[in-house]
Structure 1
């Protein structure tokens, strides 16, 4: 396992640095390292690492979501309330519609199989989008119109909506029927997740204040560790309650970090944000190398050109959905186009659930996994390159804040 970790970090760092010198996003190098060193090509990574890959990826995602929460300004988020809410489900609905319309024609699947495929493919990747939006917030690019805040909030909720739909469609594909309670889980999950995060953040703030008042000062490094460990608990609560009630652990983590930012001194929240920024250096490498390792490159050979065409048709539907969310906003054409680009990347969710239909024995399982693999390979780099290339040119700077 130690040698595998050394490969992940050393090779991941080296290749991502080379890719960065070529003016390309670092994640391209990390994904490539994961694919090449993973079990489907050179098989250099220890099975024990791959066995806990999903947990390690989740830890990395938690780190960047805490940093996102510590960077979010709720007053900015209020300005874009309606578009942010719409971004959490409308683009995904449009993309699923694209699969429903064209997947039966291009990929010879049934309507319900097309719906399952759409649910797998329609989630935006928070791992690609969130760190880039956090960086834009820190650099005050687009913040005068709350563009990164809107995208960050929408991307954080998008996955919840899509995963609920995925579970429902899979049940239907197995011969079951959709229940109205399945769809009620979406708002319940969001509301309970935010409420849990607010309560947890408030309790932590009171704890920190009590310690400060009694001269038992807690170092910021210790606070960061407490926040991280508490975030693990919140994610575990989601898992523990899954059979009884739906709670979004990821939203709880973001909400907890937001409360800490609001209630603590600005200098403290900034230092905590910096510490999670340093943790993200290692977490990012781990996340994207392991996402790459989860990609079975062999399936790309069986998918064919039809799968690639299907992906880009669905992305066109998604773009229309994002454009629809922007109606009534004061965003310029280029800013709206930036929002469309920022909502392209697929990675984490597809790596997590892309193989589920195949493991359940669904006839469409192999083609869904093939399309999911291709979507990661095309859209994660495409979205990352697009965001990095256009953010400075298309978003206005607000450095005076």
Structure 2
């Protein structure tokens, strides 16, 4: 495992640097590193690290969402109000509807299979979007209109909404039923997750005020509580949903509101952790990609992915109607809500492992959505934010 970690870090950093010199996203270099090192190409990664790949990717998500919470001011979100709520579910719903409209015609699959595919592809990637939005906040682009905050918050809740629908549709495909109780997991996951995170954040703010300790010790405590919150998510079943990742983000937000100066220092610590976590996340995501599936699908799946992206962008545009954002700012939001990666890598293979007839094609489209949208979205964000957003 130690050799595999060394190869991941050194090759990932090297490829990232090469792509940066070529004015391409570092993320693309990291993904390509994972594809080359993974079991479907050179097979240079130890099986032990691949067996815990999902857990390592989860840790990376925890790190970046905690950092997002520590930098997210709720007062900024109140400026955009209704749009912030709509961004949590409307774009994903539009993309799923687009899949229902296009996939049966393009790929010849059933509506239920298209619905499953739509929920796999419909989630955006906080791991791609959040670092980009944090960079915009640091450079103060679009912050007067709260655009980075709007996109970060929506992308985090979007995943909960999509994954609950995915669970319901795969249950139907296995011969089960989808009830209203299943859909109740969406609001309860969001509300209970944010509430639990807020309570933890307030308690941490009180503890940090009363007890003197180094910031490094505070980071270890926050990480430990984050792991417990995510573990709690997996232990709950039935209609009572709970989002551990939203709880992690909520904890950061509450701590930022109560102890702003501490949150700023901790955010700097987390930004250093992200250097290593980003490499692990995207190299291991790349290692899940089976290029053979992608090549075998031909142009039909690629056409489908771009088709449903149009539906997603229409959903984002609808969310922003009635806001004070100008045409360029709305276009940027539509671009920034494009990248897919972590959710697709996490659940793309589940229909295949369940033995569903659509499993192979769902995995193929999930893989292609990562390869197309993650680097393309990252590239377009980098190229357009200074042109479309106003500096503060």
Q: TM-score range by the shorter chain?
A: over 0.9
Question: What is the alpha-carbon distance in structure 2 between the residues aligned to residue 138 and residue 71 of structure 1?
Answer: 10
1:241-288 Cα offsets, whole Å, 9 max, x none, are 23572111111101101111111142x221111000000000000000
Deviation at 1:81, TM superposition (A): 2.1
TM-score between the two structures when normalised by the length of structure 1: 0.96
Q: Does 1:21 align with 2:40?
A: no
2:144 is paired with a residue whose SS is: helix
Please report the RMSD computed on the Cα atoms of aligned residues, expressed in angstroms: 0.9
Q: Does 1:290 align with 2:287?
A: no
1:382 is paired with a residue whose SS is: helix
Q: Does 1:395 align with 2:384?
A: no
Question: What is the alpha-carbon distance in structure 1 between the residues aligned to residue 225 and residue 137 of structure 2?
Answer: 25
Q: Does 1:44 align with 2:44?
A: yes
Gaps spanning 5+ residues in structure 2: where?
A: none
Question: What is the alpha-carbon distance in structure 2 between the residues aligned to residue 128 and residue 87 of structure 1?
Answer: 17
Count of matched residue pairs: 392
1:104-127 Cα offsets, whole Å, 9 max, x none, are 111010011000010100000111
Question: What is the alpha-carbon distance in structure 2 between the residues aligned to residue 252 and residue 315 of structure 1?
Answer: 29
Where does residue 130 of structure 1 map in the other structure?
130
Question: What is the alpha-carbon distance in structure 1 between the residues aligned to residue 106 and residue 259 of structure 2?
Answer: 54
Deviation at 1:323, TM superposition (A): 0.5
Please list, as runs of the form range in 1=range in 2, the aligned pairs for 1:36-185 lying within 5 A after superposition: 36-185=36-185
Checking the alignment, whether the CA contact within 8 Å between 2:181 and 2:239 is kept in structure 1 is no
Deviation at 1:306, TM superposition (A): 0.7
Question: What is the alpha-carbon distance in structure 2 between the residues aligned to residue 151 and residue 227 of structure 1?
Answer: 24
Where does residue 356 of structure 2 map in the other structure?
362
Equivalent in 325, 331, 343 of residue 325 of structure 2: 331
Runs of 4 or more off by more than 4 Å in structure 1?
Answer: none
Where does residue 232 of structure 2 map in the other structure?
237
Q: Does 1:318 align with 2:312?
A: yes
Deviation at 1:80, TM superposition (A): 1.4
Checking the alignment, whether the CA contact within 8 Å between 1:70 and 1:260 is kept in structure 2 is yes
Question: What is the alpha-carbon distance in structure 2 between the residues aligned to residue 223 and residue 278 of structure 1?
Answer: 15
Greater shift, 74-83 or 241-250, is seen at 241-250
1:278 is paired with a residue whose SS is: helix
Gaps spanning 5+ residues in structure 1: where?
A: 212-216
Checking the alignment, whether the CA contact within 8 Å between 2:230 and 2:245 is kept in structure 1 is yes
1:143 is paired with a residue whose SS is: coil
1:144 is paired with a residue whose SS is: coil
Question: What is the alpha-carbon distance in structure 2 between the residues aligned to residue 302 and residue 165 of structure 1?
Answer: 28
Where does residue 214 of structure 1 map in the other structure?
none
Where does residue 376 of structure 2 map in the other structure?
382
Question: What is the alpha-carbon distance in structure 2 between the residues aligned to residue 237 and residue 177 of structure 1?
Answer: 26
Question: What is the alpha-carbon distance in structure 1 between the residues aligned to residue 375 and residue 37 of structure 2?
Answer: 19
TM-score between the two structures when normalised by the length of structure 2: 0.99
Question: What is the alpha-carbon distance in structure 1 between the residues aligned to residue 141 and residue 89 of structure 2?
Answer: 25
Checking the alignment, whether the CA contact within 8 Å between 1:71 and 1:138 is kept in structure 2 is no
Equivalent in 209, 213, 224 of residue 218 of structure 1: 213
Question: What is the alpha-carbon distance in structure 1 between the residues aligned to residue 80 and residue 288 of structure 2?
Answer: 36
1:265-315 Cα offsets, whole Å, 9 max, x none, are 42x221111000000000000000000001111101221111111111100
Deviation at 1:129, TM superposition (A): 0.5
Deviation at 1:130, TM superposition (A): 0.9
